[in-house]
């Protein structure tokens, strides 16, 4: 049996929930299809101990409904996964959205039929849906990298992936744990496992620059002030480069004598989280000299915190600060002072396989384990979309069309894929995700509104607009020496963490969140220039 909706939305995280609300405003019937058993997306799947936001709670939430902003009481500056998941459940119930969300439903096929101007969406359970508008809301970091190491089947202990963490608590007490991966996930998990396990061996390929999170409880007065100031907060996120509620530093490195740079970094280090990056120097990510000074500042902190000099050396990155997405941590470096924690570099001594009893490296050493934890990261931006097998007018899947490089219009639409919209799609910015999603959904809603008002039912970017946008994204990356340097550091910004993934492609809009919002507004002000709106009957093939 096939059910028809005006819109099918794939994914029940920030993008899916926000899109569902928008379709309500548009008067469309809509169904969210979500693979998990509940809402939350990233915050449903990534339930490893220690998982918490590293964006401040009051901006990492739904901005579109002031009632939600006022009624939800965040308890911490950076809330943990259970609180974010609870917030999602509250939000969908408060907005009465749950009845339009179908859980345990994984989409594995989306095909556009030009004759009827509909999308057919199929699921792994054999259900099918048809719809006019298809919105992918699968998240930029959904498809987790599976452990590529041979021999895992023979391992006699337990193993788990952080991105598919079991709902039941995992007991590390008294166990030997080997943990692979020191990205933002590993950085959050390591201190928690270190506290509980008998022995923790961390296998690190590339070190990261970890700045203290400085999480704290939100006192009632602070929370009340936040709630009073939401207009100002959302105005700040409109213009801040990463869509955070922060002001620019209004300070370039040239404004401060070099021998005083460390005082500025001290203030950022104390402020915690992304404030180190965004409230120190406004040219930190473009000026390599001040960037190197920031890098050396963090390296000196590592050397001061970690007692064993050899371990400290291994933890010190040598690439640009921001060349990989910098994680935020709580007692991360301190964990390596514990007697039960050992850091092993696999940079030049790669993991070869998993044995019955542990993880083997190229030199033959086996690190014994009762539990192996894989925090290996994601096939970002295109991975989850590829799993949906989205086929456009010429029958090609997105991954076929995008070989060797994705080209989109505004990271939201693709020529040859009418009425298909992506959230956190390739060539959208990496920034405070809920805010980027909110702006992108407003853009989609505006396009559908325009279609409704002019009597069109086919919305599609022109090939020229998509090609021009792709060139624009390439140019923005070309300017960015620091981000580009991540190629040699397996940066997922560049697809360099996934073997065989195209390196000629540009996966993100690197012009900053505010730049992207400006471009979205520009397109809307020009009556959606770059998108074509047509009436399907005019181009009916039958
Ligand atoms: O993934 P990652 P993540 N052998 O790709 C290592 C967001 N996030 O899940 O760096 C050995 O950063 C890999 O090594 P290398 C955030 O945006 C947000 O940690 O490639 N090691 C790396 O150390 C973040 O950036 C939050 O050399 C291997 C690790 O696995 C993004 O998600 C919390 C290996 C993967 O790190 C991804 O973070 C968590 C191999 N064969 C995540 N393969 C918050 O908001 C991979 N690695 C708080």
pLDDT in tens, 301-335: 999 999 999 999 999 999 999 999 999 999 999 99
User: What is the C-alpha separation between 22 and 88, in angstroms, rounded?
Assistant: 16
- Same domain (yes/no): 33, 160: no
Q: Would you say how long the chain is, in residues?
A: 542
DSSP characters over 67-123: HHHHH----BSS-BHHHHHHHHHHHHHHTT-GGGEE-S--EEEEEEETTTTEEEEEE
- Same domain (yes/no): 393, 490: yes
User: What is the C-alpha separation between 203 and 449, in angstroms, rounded?
Assistant: 51
Per-residue model confidence (pLDDT) at position 538? 64
Count of structural domains within the chain = 3
Residue 537 in this model has a pLDDT that exceeds 80: no
Using the atom order of ligand 1, give the atom closest to the CA of residue 186: 19
- Kindly tell me the burial class for residue 125, based on how many C-beta atoms sit within 10 Å of its own C-beta (0-12, 13-18, 19 or more): exposed
- Same domain (yes/no): 112, 152: no
What's the mean per-residue pLDDT of the chain?
Answer: 96
Phi-psi region of 408 (alpha: psi -120 to 50; beta: other; left: phi over 0): beta
Atom 24 (ligand 1): residue with closest C-alpha?
Answer: 184
- Same domain (yes/no): 301, 430: no
- Same domain (yes/no): 387, 517: yes
In a domain, 483, yes or no: yes
Examine the fold and report which residue of 377, 400, 419 is the final residue of a domain before the chain moves on: 377
- Same domain (yes/no): 30, 98: yes
User: What is the C-alpha separation between 227 and 380, in angstroms, rounded?
Assistant: 34
**Positions of E strands within 338-484:** 341-345, 351-354, 358-361, 366-368, 371-374, 390-391, 420-422, 458-461
Whole-model pTM: value is: 0.97
> Ligand 1 centroid to 169 CA: how many Å?
22
47, 151, 185: residue to mutate for ligand 1 pocket, most atoms within 8 A of CB: 185
Query: 525: which residues sit within 8 A by CB, 6+ positions away?
Result: none
Q: What is the pLDDT of residues 268-292, one digit of tens each?
A: 999 999 999 999 999 999 999 999 9
> Ligand 1 centroid to 149 CA: how many Å?
16
- Kindly tell me the burial class for residue 77, based on how many C-beta atoms sit within 10 Å of its own C-beta (0-12, 13-18, 19 or more): buried
> Ligand 1 centroid to 286 CA: how many Å?
23
191, 205, 273, 500: residue to mutate for ligand 1 pocket, most atoms within 8 A of CB: 205
In a domain, 220, yes or no: no
Q: What is the pLDDT of residues 191-206, one digit of tens each?
A: 999 999 999 999 999 9
> Ligand 1 centroid to 205 CA: how many Å?
10
Residue 211: DSSP 8-state:
E
Examine the fold and report which residue of 377, 395, 413 is the final residue of a domain before the chain moves on: 377
User: What is the C-alpha separation between 87 and 93, in angstroms, rounded?
Assistant: 10
The mean pLDDT of 220-249, rounded to a whole number, is: 97
Strand-pair category, 199-204 with 341-345: parallel
> Ligand 1 centroid to 210 CA: how many Å?
13
Residue 179 in this model has a pLDDT that exceeds 60: yes
Residue carrying the six token digits 């990510």: 285
The mean pLDDT of 482-503, rounded to a whole number, is: 93
- Same domain (yes/no): 303, 383: no
pLDDT-derived band of residue 343, with 50, 70 and 90 as boundaries?
very high
> Ligand 1 centroid to 374 CA: how many Å?
10
Give residue 283's domain range.
226-308+320-325
Q: What is the CATH number of the domain that holds 162?
A: 3.50.50.60
Pocket of ligand 1 (CB under 6 A): 52-54, 141, 148, 180-186, 188, 205-206, 325, 346, 351, 375-378, 490, 492, 497
């Amino acid at each position: 049996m096939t059910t028809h909706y005006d819109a099918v939305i794939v994914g029940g995280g920030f993008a899916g929930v926000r899109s569902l609300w928008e379709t309500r405003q548009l008067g469309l019937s809509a169904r969210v299809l979500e693979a998990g058993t509940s809402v939350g997306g990233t915050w449903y799947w990534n339930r490893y101990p220690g998982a918490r936001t590293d964006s401040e709670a009051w901006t990492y939430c739904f901005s579109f409904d002031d009632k939600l902003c006022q009624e939800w009481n965040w308890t911490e500056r950076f809330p943990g996964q259970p609180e974010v998941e609870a917030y999602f459940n509250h939000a969908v119930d408060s907005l009465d959205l749950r009845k339009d969300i179908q859980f345990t439903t994984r989409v594995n096929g989306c095909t556009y039929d030009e004759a009827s101007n509909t999308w057919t969406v199929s699921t792994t359970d054999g259900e099918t849906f048809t719809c006019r508008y298809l919105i992918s809301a699968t998240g930029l970091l959904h498809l987790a990298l599976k452990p590529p190491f041979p021999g895992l089947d023979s391992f006699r202990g337990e193993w788990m992936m952080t991105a598919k963490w079991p709902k039941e608590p995992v007991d590390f007490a008294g166990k030997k744990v080997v943990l692979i991966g020191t990205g933002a996930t590993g950085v959050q998990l390591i201190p928690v496992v270190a506290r509980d396990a008998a022995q923790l061996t961390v296998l690190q390929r590339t070190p990261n620059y970890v700045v203290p999170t400085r999480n704290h409880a939100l006192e009632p007065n602070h929370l009340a002030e936040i709630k009073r100031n939401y207009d100002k907060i959302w105005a700040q996120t409109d213009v801040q480069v990463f869509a955070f509620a922060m002001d620019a530093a209004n300070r370039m490195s040239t404004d401060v004598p070099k021998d005083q740079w460390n005082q500025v970094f001290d203030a950022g280090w104390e402020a915690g989280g992304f404030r180190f990056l965004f409230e120190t120097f406004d040219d930190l990510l473009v000026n390599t000299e001040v960037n190197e000074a920031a890098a050396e500042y963090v390296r000196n902190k590592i050397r001061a915190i970690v007692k064993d000099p050899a371990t400290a050396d291994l933890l010190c990155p040598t690439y640009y600060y921001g060349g990989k997405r910098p994680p935020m941590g709580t007692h991360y470096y301190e964990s390596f002072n514990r007697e039960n924690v050992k850091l092993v570099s696999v940079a030049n001594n790669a993991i070869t396989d998993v044995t019955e009893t542990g993880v083997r490296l190229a030199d033959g050493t086996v690190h014994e384990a009762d539990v192996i934890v894989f925090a290996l990261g994601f096939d970002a931006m295109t991975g989850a979309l590829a799993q949906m097998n989205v086929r456009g007018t010429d029958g090609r899947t997105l991954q076929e069309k995008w070989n060797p490089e994705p080209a989109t219009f505004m990271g939201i639409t693709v020529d040859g894929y009418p009425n298909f919209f992506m959230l956190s799609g390739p060539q959208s910015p990496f920034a405070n995700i809920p805010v980027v999603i909110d702006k992108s959904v407003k853009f989609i809603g505006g396009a559908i509104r325009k279609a409704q008002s002019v009597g069109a039912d086919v919305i599609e970017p022109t090939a020229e607009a998509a090609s021009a946008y792709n060139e624009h994204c390439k140019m923005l990356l070309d300017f960015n020496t620091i981000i580009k340097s991540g190629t040699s550091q397996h940066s997922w910004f560049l697809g360099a963490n996934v073997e065989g993934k195209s390196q000629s492609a540009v996966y993100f809009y690197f012009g900053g969140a505010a730049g992207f919002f400006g471009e979205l507004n520009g397109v809307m002000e020009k009556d959606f220039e770059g998108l074509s709106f047509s009436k399907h009957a005019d181009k009916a093939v039958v």
